[in-house]
Amino acid sequence: MCSIMAYCGQGADRKQFQKGFSRTVSRGPDDSKIVDTGNGLMGFHRLSIMGLTPSGMQPFRLRDHYVICNGEIYGFETMKKKLEEKYTFHSDSDCEILLPLYQEYGTEMFAMLDAEFACVIYDGKKKEYIAARDPIGIRPLYYGYDQKGVIVFASEPKNLVGITEKIMPFPPGHYYKNGCFFCYCDLTETKKICRDDLETVCGKIHDKLIRSVEKRLVADAKVGFLLSGGLDSSLVCAIAVKKSKQPIRTFAIGMSKDAIDLKYARQVADYIGSEHQEIFMTAEEVRNALETVIQLLATYDITTIRASMGMYLLCKAIHEQTDIRVLLTGEISDELFGYKYTDYAPDAGAFQEESKKRIRELHMYDVLRADRCISVNALEARVPFGDIDFVRYVMAVDPELKMNRYGKGKYLLRHAFEGKGYLPEEILWREKAAFSDAVGHSMVDDLKAYAEKTYTEEAFTQLREKYTYAQPFTKESLLYREIFEKYYPGQAQMVAGFWMPNKEWDGCDVDDPSARVLANYGDSGK
Burial 492-508 (b: 16+ CB within 10 A, else e): bebbeebbbbbeebeeb
**2 counts as catalytic:** yes
Q: Are residue 146 and residue 270 in the same domain, yes or no? A: no
Section 187-211 average pLDDT: 95
Q: For 251-267, write each residue's pLDDT tens digit.
A: 999 999 888 899 999 99
Burial 323-336 (b: 16+ CB within 10 A, else e): ebbbbbbbbbbbbb
pTM, two decimals, is 0.95
Q: Are residue 11 and residue 39 in the same domain, yes or no? A: yes
Dihedral of the alpha carbons of 475, 439, 359, 117, in degrees to the nearest 10: 110
Q: Give the domain CATH number at 28.
A: 3.60.20.10
Q: For 280-331, write each residue's pLDDT tens digit.
A: 999 999 999 999 999 999 999 999 999 999 999 999 999 999 999 999 999 9
Domain extent for 166: 3-183
Q: Please indicate, yes or no, if residue 322 is contained in any of the structural domains.
A: yes
Number of structural domains (the chain) is 2
Question: Using 50, 70 and 90 to split pLDDT, how confident is the model at 162?
Answer: very high
Q: Are residue 234 and residue 285 in the same domain, yes or no? A: yes
Q: Computed over its alpha carbons, how large is the radius of gyration of the chain?
A: 22
Domain boundary among 462, 489, 505: 462
Q: Are residue 78 and residue 19 in the same domain, yes or no? A: yes
Q: Are residue 245 and residue 117 in the same domain, yes or no? A: no
Per-residue model confidence (pLDDT) at position 258: 87
Q: Are residue 204 and residue 137 in the same domain, yes or no? A: no
Q: Please indicate, yes or no, if residue 480 is contained in any of the structural domains.
A: no
Q: Please indicate, yes or no, if residue 477 is contained in any of the structural domains.
A: no
Per-residue model confidence (pLDDT) at position 323: 94
Q: Please indicate, yes or no, if residue 237 is contained in any of the structural domains.
A: yes
Q: Are residue 177 and residue 129 in the same domain, yes or no? A: yes
What DSSP string runs through 129-141? EEEEE-SS--S--
What DSSP string runs through 104-162? HHGGGGGGG--EEEEEEEEETTTTEEEEEE-SS--S--EEEE-TT--EEEESSHHHHTT
Section 144-161 average pLDDT: 97
Q: Give the domain CATH number at 369.
A: 3.40.50.620
Q: For 404-443, write each residue's pLDDT tens digit.
A: 989 899 999 999 999 999 999 999 999 877 767 888 899 9
Q: Please indicate, yes or no, if residue 506 is contained in any of the structural domains.
A: no
Q: Please indicate, yes or no, if residue 525 is contained in any of the structural domains.
A: no
